[in-house]
Structure 1
Amino acid sequence: MSTARKTTTVFLTVLSGLLLGIVGLTQRWPAWIWPLLAVLLLVVPAAAFRVAAMRRGTVPVTFEEQLTAAPVERTEHRVSQVLLPSKWADYDFVFSATVRWYPVDAPARAPVLNPAGLAVDAVLKRARAITEQREPVRASLVEQELSGALSRMVPEPTGHLQAMAESIQLVLMQQDQERLDKLADVRKDEAVWVHQRKYEQSRRRYLGEDVLKDTGSAVVWWLARNDEHVERTVNDLALLAQLTSAANDADIPERLQDLISQQAGEPTTSDVPETKPPSAPQGRETATMRLSDFLDSIGFTDGDVRRPMLAAQIAGLIKEQDRHETAEEIQHHFDPPASLAPDDEAPASGSALA
């Protein structure tokens, strides 16, 4: 019987004795009843204690034995600046975390061990299995993945304890992060350059294979650009023929030579002496001059920044057809190198003075 029950039994016995005494005095019980009443008050509590002890057994039960088992004590260890491999060679993650563990029940003759070392080793192995499969360009995302994967208590390989990690930090070294940022900028610039190059190639194909394929195609294109003004297109027919021949590095068709001569106010082919056939350099110069006249006619006069740009595109079309000499002369005429500009101007000034 516990101490609380014993106290309660004694209190009830005393209270019962007082009540019986009061009743006996008021009822004028005989004198022989009082000794019997005293014996009952002593025997009844003793019998109750004896019965309770027999029911409980021989092993005493204390109050402390009724308490629950003490909770398992968990310990922790902070890990900082540990390098873990990534999927890319020479780019390592920098890992930091708080490792927690608790020991598993071990036999009495278990060897002495360092639980912190076992727990840290187990956590690092679990983290490495993830990081070595991830690219270093997404360190923050891998950090969140590790926070979820290492947040569970898992038995370590020896079976002596269970371990987990929290407060995980995963970053790259500053030098590696700067390198990756530079590589990302280069890839973005390269992507923009590739798109620009494709755009330029598309424009060249459009001009060379569609617009300036022949005089007829150029006329149709020019007619559409001028809101179907037929009269203006007819007036520009000679210029279109010259531009087409310059772009294709070919002679102007005979059927258009008289028209060009008439519009330019020059003698027709029948009046041209046969003793003055144009040489190859003069023909190329004629193509350059014809291109210059065409640009003047459409408003791209000297000083207009669009003039050398359009001439460069036409020169690129000619160069793609393996006519490099003509393309270089056109390029040199409309956009001469800065170092050659004074030399080119000197003869012109001299001739003007002459």
Structure 2
Amino acid sequence: MITHPRAVVIAAIFVPWTAFVVWLSVVLGWLGAVLAVVLTIGCVVAYRKAGGQLFADVSAASESELSTSGLPTADETVFLNVSATVHWQAAKVESYHADVAREFVLQQAREVTAKWRPAQYSLAQHELAARIGRPATADGGDLEVWATALRLGLPEAVEQHLAKMDEAHRHGLLWEVGAANENRVRSYLRDDALRTPASAVVWWLAQHDGSVERAVELAEVLTKLSRLATGASETDVSAESQHLIEAIQKLEEPARRPAAHSLADAFDQAGVPIVAQALREEYNLPTLRPLADPPPSGDSDAGSRPGRAWSVGNDR
């Protein structure tokens, strides 16, 4: 800390004066004490009449405004602006103190802002204000420096650029989340729900519990949907018939054979006889066979002839 001339003068006068008052009191008793009080009052009055120049501080605190740019940040391409009121006080007044004080504040500012990202300049401002808001020694201990009214900020163009970058980043994150969710749904439908016609029917039944009849009606549509989703051929469905059987097994015992019968007929009509045959074999169901072959496709009267007749048989 700086030792001010005012403090030195006060100490140089107070110590001898105290010793003199004590000596008077010891030697003269109460008369000495009265005499010491009278002398003290006389000195104070004389000091005030002299205008108090004896104890005047030879170096009152000075101040200067600081405003500049170019403070570094954690991003080497972005710099901050700074403004502050710089204060300093020294035992001896020198013309260069203003420059030393401002440089000291800038040095402290550079050390702080270099650790923070540009978007965090308000946090850097708080740290810097706490560091330089109280007096600190500079210039080899001959100068006390501090700063008030500190402000850090980004250039307007940089601030607008960072705002746009932040907005684009948020939109990008939202897009990535949406795309990831879409990929999960697509994978689930392609690799699980619609992997085979049987799994497509099971998937639909899971979404519409107890609607077996409606599932039969939609069997053809679900079969085509499965093939379109997976690119599978008709021969690929034979290995997946077990999925449909497992779904039927989850029904109550009395409902299993009727459900299997209805689904087998639906898969026959949908052109998936492999699944239909697997259901009939599993549950020992009768097979529908045509009584007569259908008319040739080129027959012009095919549209006016009665439909195909069916008989009930059993493969077993």
What's the TM-score once normalised by structure 1's chain length?
A: 0.52
Letter of the 1:188 counterpart: R
CA distance in structure 2 between the partners assigned to 1:251 and 1:209 by the alignment: 15
Shift of 1:105: 6.0
Using the TM superposition, give the Cα deviation of residue 184 of structure 1 relative to its aligned residue in structure 2, in angstroms: 0.3
Letter in 2 for 1:175: A
1:199 maps to a residue whose letter is: N
Matched, 1:74 2:61: yes
2:180 alignment counterpart: 198
In structure 2, give the amino acid aligned to 1:92.
F
The answer to whether residue 80 in structure 2 is matched with residue 93 in structure 1 is yes
Q: Structure 1 stretches of 5 or more lacking a match?
A: 1-47, 107-111, 274-354
Gaps of 5+ in 2: 1-27, 239-263, 274-289, 297-316
Counterpart-to-counterpart distance in 2, 1:114 and 1:120? 10
Q: Which residue of 2 aligns with 1:259?
A: 269
Provide the residue aligned with 2:224 in structure 1.
Answer: 242
The answer as to 2:132 corresponding to 1:150 is yes
Aligned-pair distance for 1:272? 10
Aligned residues with identical type, % of pairs: 27
Matched ranges for 1:128-167 at <5 A: 128-167=110-149
Choose which of 123, 141, 153 in structure 2 pairs with 1:171.
153
User: One-letter code of the match for 2:80?
Assistant: F
The answer as to whether partners of 1:242 and 1:252 remain within 8 angstroms in 2 is no
Name the CA shift for 1:262/1:213 in 2 (closer, same or farther; >3 Å): closer
Structure 2 counterpart of 1:285 = none
**Distance in 2 of aligned mates of 1:116 and 1:272:** 111
What is the rounded CA distance, in whole Å, between the counterparts of 2:66 and 2:202 in structure 1?
Answer: 76
| Contact 2:69–2:79 (CA under 8 A) maintained in structure 1 | no
In 2 relative to 1, CA 158–151 (structure 1 residues): closer, same or farther, beyond 3 Å?
Answer: same
Q: 2:105 — aligned with what? A: 123
Higher-Rg structure is 1
3-state DSSP of counterpart to 2:55: coil
Match of 2:270, SS? helix
- Structure 2: distance between partners of 1:175 and 1:134: 19
Q: Deviations over 1:262-290 (max 9, x none)?
A: 99xxx9xx8799xxxxxxxxxxxxxxxxx
Task: Report the aligned-residue RMSD.
Answer: 3.4
Which residue identity does 2:84 align to in structure 1?
A
Distance 1:234 1:185 in 2: 50
Q: Name 1:333's counterpart in structure 2.
A: none
1:13-32 alignment runs, 5 A limit: none
Pairs within 5 Å for 1:98-117: 98-104=85-91, 113-117=95-99
Which of 209, 212, 215 is the matching residue for 1:230?
212
Aligned partner of 2:270: which letter?
Answer: I
Change beyond 3 A, Cα 1:211–1:101: same
The correspondence of residues 194-343 of structure 1 with structure 2, limited to 5 A, is 194-253=176-235, 258-261=268-271
Aligned AA (1:69)? F
1:125 alignment partner AA:
Q
Residue identity in the other structure for 1:140 = S
Provide the C-alpha distance between the structure 2 equivalents of 1:175 and 1:203, rounded to a whole number of angstroms. 42
Tell me, yes or no, if structure 1 residue 182 matches structure 2 residue 192.
no
C-alpha distance after superposition, 1:73-117 (max 9, x if no partner): 1110001133211111121110000000100369xxxxx551101
Q: d(CA) in 1 for partners of 2:229 and 2:140? A: 81
8 Å contact kept, 2:87–2:147: yes
Q: Deviations over 1:175-212 (max 9, x none)?
A: 11111011101101100110111011011011011101
Q: Take 2:268 and 2:173, find their aligned partners in 1: how far apart are those partners? A: 50
Aligned length: 210
3-state DSSP class of the match of 2:140? coil
